[in-house]
A and B are shown apart, each in its own frame.
Chain A
Amino acid sequence: MRRRSFLLSLAASLVSTTSLSRAALIHDRVPWAPHPNSAPEMERLGPWQFFTADEARAMEAIVDRIIPPDPETPGGKEAGCAVFIDRQLKGGYGANEGLYTLGPYIKGAKEQGPQSQLSHAELYRKGLAGLDTFCRSSHGGKPFAELSTDEQDAALKKVEAGEAKFDGVDGQGFFSALLKDVPEGFFSDPIHGGNRDMVGWKMIGFPGIRYDYRDWVKRHNERYPYPPVSIAGRADWTPKNRER
């Protein structure tokens, strides 16, 4: 149980006259507890939580092809995109938490939306296996991570175009998930494990969560000068020897 639900039940027991579990009777005053209801959780560096070592190697190679490094801005790997996806797949996103998962599962028109029975975690597990099998069969037994960057790009283009058939999973669907999840890792708040040192935000000039631009709204066609801030603050707010 996350702290949020604990607090909700605490609030419920404080203010209700009839016990309705987490459901509360609210009367006379706004329910309040002296902590955030749903404080964010911060992802930390450390061992892979979802990916195996081989999967992680492949993922780090993939995220660096989807967002390659350039002289000014790191690529997906250094930005932590693989770590971000690892933490997401270990959590609610990986388990399709909150989504409607009752059957029957029927393939419909594309306008009817995704009808896959696979969770996001299963999609990555099978997709990464499929990618390596495809690469091994066409590159003398080498998995994706051991190909040259040109070969990696060529392989991903085949997956994107639907020319690489994977076993038990839709390769194009896997690739679509990558195109959604990797940029999310590059651009979401660093507390989620990606966008390390706010490299994605610095690249485009997004100031993060500053939350107040009243002094700037009428300064037209002028570049906003201040560096980004994350939910967790900014590295230069913390003395170097205590970083992380």
Chain B
Amino acid sequence: MARKLPRKDVVIVGLGWTGSIMAYEIAGAGLDVVAIERGPWRNTATDFPPGYAADELRYRIRHELFLRPDQTTFTFRNKMSQTALPIRSWGAFMPPNGVGGGGVHWNAETWRFLPSDFVLRKHLTERYGANFLPEDMTIQDWGITYDELEPHYDRFEYLCGTSGQAGNVKGKIIEGGNPFEGPRSRPYPNPPQDQPFSPTLFAKAAHDLGYKPFPQPSGNMSRAYQNPLGVRLGPCTYCGFCEWFGCGNYSKASPQTTILPALIRKPNFSARDNSEVVRIDLDGTGKRATGVTFVDTDGNEWEQPADLVVLSAYTIFNVQLLLLSGIGKPYDAQANTGVIGRNFTHQTTSDVVSFFDPAKFVFNPFIASGAIGTCIDEFNGDNFDHGPHGFVGGGYMGQVQTNGRPIETTPVPPGTPLWGAQWKKAVKENYQSALKPGTGVHGSMYSYRDVYVDLDPTYKDRFGRPLARITMDFHDNEIKQNKFLTDKFAEIFQAMGARQVHKEYRKGPYDITKYQTTHLCGGAIMGTDPATSALNRYLQSWDVPNLFVLGASAFPQNAGYNPTGTVAALAYWAADAIHGKYLKNPGQLING
């Protein structure tokens, strides 16, 4: 029997980027807010100080900052006809855990989506005709426009101190930036990070090929920065232990380095760590959330009553909690009905590994940050004519020098034996003169009728609750897209003077053991129609109006960019709707 805690105005489930943003915004409105986080509190000084943060084995290989599959995991299958099996150790993506969430160990690649990404079906249908899209592709429009989201992108970038070069300020194209980006209201708060050797070579080769290269927008500081909340970040030192790691220098934008120090001082905010929310509680009508139930580390159940529930866990945990709480109609792929679990997507990445003459090239790959590099955006979204190519979607591509950590990044030419004297010699010869971009081709994955999340019939978590089941495979559209993009990417390395260029295409079937990104998207998507979306355009549940669901779970499909910028902008957008609309008149904000 759950013990009941005193009522709060708002309970927030998960204290990562979106939970922190929402907590700060609505605590600012004077509401009494509690955030409940499954993992531990994490602090720079005590959890990842520079003295031992740079431990590749511990953090990159043994995944110390991530969720442990024995806490909970997912089952996976490619096709509906297969039996899904549990993911026993992480592979294709890395679910975060603890205060700060994925914001602790992200690369800090801080992008905006393209204006056309938000009206994708409309845009593609108008340009190419409805028949151009595969029949089982279920992409849809978001119910929001880039222009509506722009002020919120801006807020996040200024919160983070994003380092970058604007390409389009209020419609004016700026040399050196990304000319394809949507118009921004002002430049980035900080100049781009300094570029090591390899991204400058990439920039030159890309420019000579007629592209418009630009520095990747980075949440790693190019200089010291004080954000609008009064929190200060230090300059990035290019330590090369960024993604998968916590930053010991207060140089990577994270909830810890941008919001939490300001949030924690608010007297009407509190957080509970090491406490896992197991369900959202509903009243007898099923139309109103009464709070959440969580379990502490001793297995005690607690009930936290609240007037407003904000679900802000990682994508798939949002979906799982909705399913376990009986909120919204579960998606049924056979019948093509229901919404929870629908339009689930990931990413279509690939890489090109290139080998240069060791006598002429020294790249110092260890001089790196999670997001320094040069990118091009010519082949993202609908920035190019897809007509002749027979696929839709795209991605950015770049020489992003994220690390020279030797367990992970010791590339050897194809054909080298996997062990023995020849392997050892090849590792030694190529370490300084090979390029394996930390982010290479970063392609979109669009949504399909047979790619979704539901509850597994067999496997359970440690509380005996069904695991979420992932059914996912690559479709021809994404395979074609990846082939096209990878070939274009390889041409640039050829032009840089590589003597050997090895293309690692992404091929089907989707493999749960091969890391791509942690950008799982969809499953509780936003939209304009309750029949095909779980949330309205304000991320408010169509079914339970005092529930808002934040995060990439709201994306109807995934674009060719890292999602965090959009995830955070949507959190600000939803917070504004709660502030400006919901609190004045609590109820459904859209007449569905």
Contacts and interface: CB of A to CB of B under 8 A. Distances in A.
Q: Do A and B come from one complex?
A: yes
Nearest to B472: A111
A164 to B, nearest CB: 16
A32 B69 CA distance: 28
A109 to B, nearest CB: 7
Tell me what chain B mostly uses at the interface: helix, strand, loop, or mixed: loop
Contact of A20 (B45, B240, B302, B511): B302
Nearest to B6: A18
Given A179-B419, A188-B57, A217-B367, A113 B362 contact: no
Interface in A1-30: 8, 11-12, 18, 20-30
Interface in A87-127: 92-93, 97-102, 104, 106, 108-115
A203 interface: yes
A200 B407 CA distance: 10
A209 to B, nearest CB: 4
A95 to B, nearest CB: 11
A213 interface: yes
Contacts of A31: 41, 43
B171 to A, nearest CB: 33
B235 interface: yes
B424 A206 contact: no
Given A100-B73, A213-B367, A23 B237 contact: no
B70 interface: yes
B261 interface: yes
A20 B297 contact: yes
A220 B200 contact: yes
A26 B85 contact: no
A184 B432 contact: no
A107 to B, nearest CB: 9
Instruction: Kindly name the residue among A101, A201, A220 whose own CB sees the greatest number of chain B CB atoms within 10 A.
Output: A220
Given A26-B272, A189-B55, A98 B238 contact: no
B89 A99 contact: yes
Given A113-B512, A231-B52, A214 B364 contact: no
Contacts of B43: 30-32, 37
B251 to A, nearest CB: 10
Contacts of A242: none
Given A23-B272, A36-B46, A204-B431, A100 B70 contact: yes
A11 to B, nearest CB: 8
A76 to B, nearest CB: 9
Interface stretch (B75-83, B151-159, B342-350): B75-83
Contact of B55 (A68, A200, A213, A231): A231
A66 interface: yes
A106 B85 CA distance: 8
Contacts of B89: 99-100, 113-114
Contact of B88 (A26, A33, A65, A115): A115
Interface stretch (B123-131, B263-271, B563-571): B263-271
A183 B275 contact: no
Interface stretch (A47-55, A132-140, A221-229): A221-229
Interface in A198-220: 200-201, 203-214, 216-218, 220
B272 A20 contact: yes
Contact of A26 (B45, B53, B82, B264): B264
A67 interface: yes
Given A37-B47, A113-B513, A223 B432 contact: yes
B49 interface: yes
Contacts of B275: 20, 23
Contacts, number: 257
A204 B406 contact: yes
Nearest to A62: B419
B293 to A, nearest CB: 14
Nearest to B50: A211
A93 B64 CA distance: 12
Given A108-B83, A211-B239, A187 B424 contact: no
B407 A188 contact: yes
A240 interface: no
A3 to B, nearest CB: 11
Given A22-B297, A113-B76, A204-B410, A217 B46 contact: no
Interface in B27-59: 40-43, 45-47, 49-58
B93 interface: no
Contacts of A115: 85-86, 88
Contact of B239 (A99, A102, A113, A213): A213
B41 A24 contact: yes
A211 B54 contact: yes
Nearest to B407: A187
Contacts of A30: 41, 43, 260-261, 264
A156 B58 CA distance: 29
A23 B274 contact: yes
Given A26-B272, A66-B420, A204-B406, A40 B513 contact: no
Given A204-B428, A217-B238, A40 B362 contact: no
A15 to B, nearest CB: 10
B41 A187 contact: no
Given A66-B420, A231-B54, A216 B47 contact: no
A201 B45 CA distance: 27
A210 to B, nearest CB: 8
A167 interface: no
B298 interface: yes
Nearest to B261: A30
Interface string B4-31: 0100000000000000000000000000
B76 A32 contact: no
B70 A184 contact: no
A112 B512 contact: yes
B68 interface: yes
A106 to B, nearest CB: 6
A187 B423 CA distance: 14
A224 B302 contact: no
A244 interface: no
B453 to A, nearest CB: 16
Contacts of A236: none
A92 to B, nearest CB: 8
Nearest to B274: A23
Contact of B513 (A21, A99, A111, A218): A111
Question: What are the 10 A-B residue pairs with the smallest beta carbon separation, nearest first?
Answer: A98-B68, A209-B54, A220-B197, A188-B57, A204-B431, A100-B69, A187-B406, A21-B298, A23-B296, A212-B237
9 contacts: A23-B297, A27-B264, A36-B47, A100-B69, A100-B86, A113-B88, A188-B55, A213-B239, A217-B238
Interface of A: 8, 11-12, 18, 20-33, 35-40, 65-68, 70, 73, 92-93, 97-102, 104, 106, 108-115, 153, 156, 160, 179, 182-184, 187-189, 191-192, 200-201, 203-214, 216-218, 220-224, 231
Given A209-B239, A213-B240, 7 more contacts: A29-B265, A99-B69, A112-B85, A188-B56, A211-B53, A213-B367, A218-B194
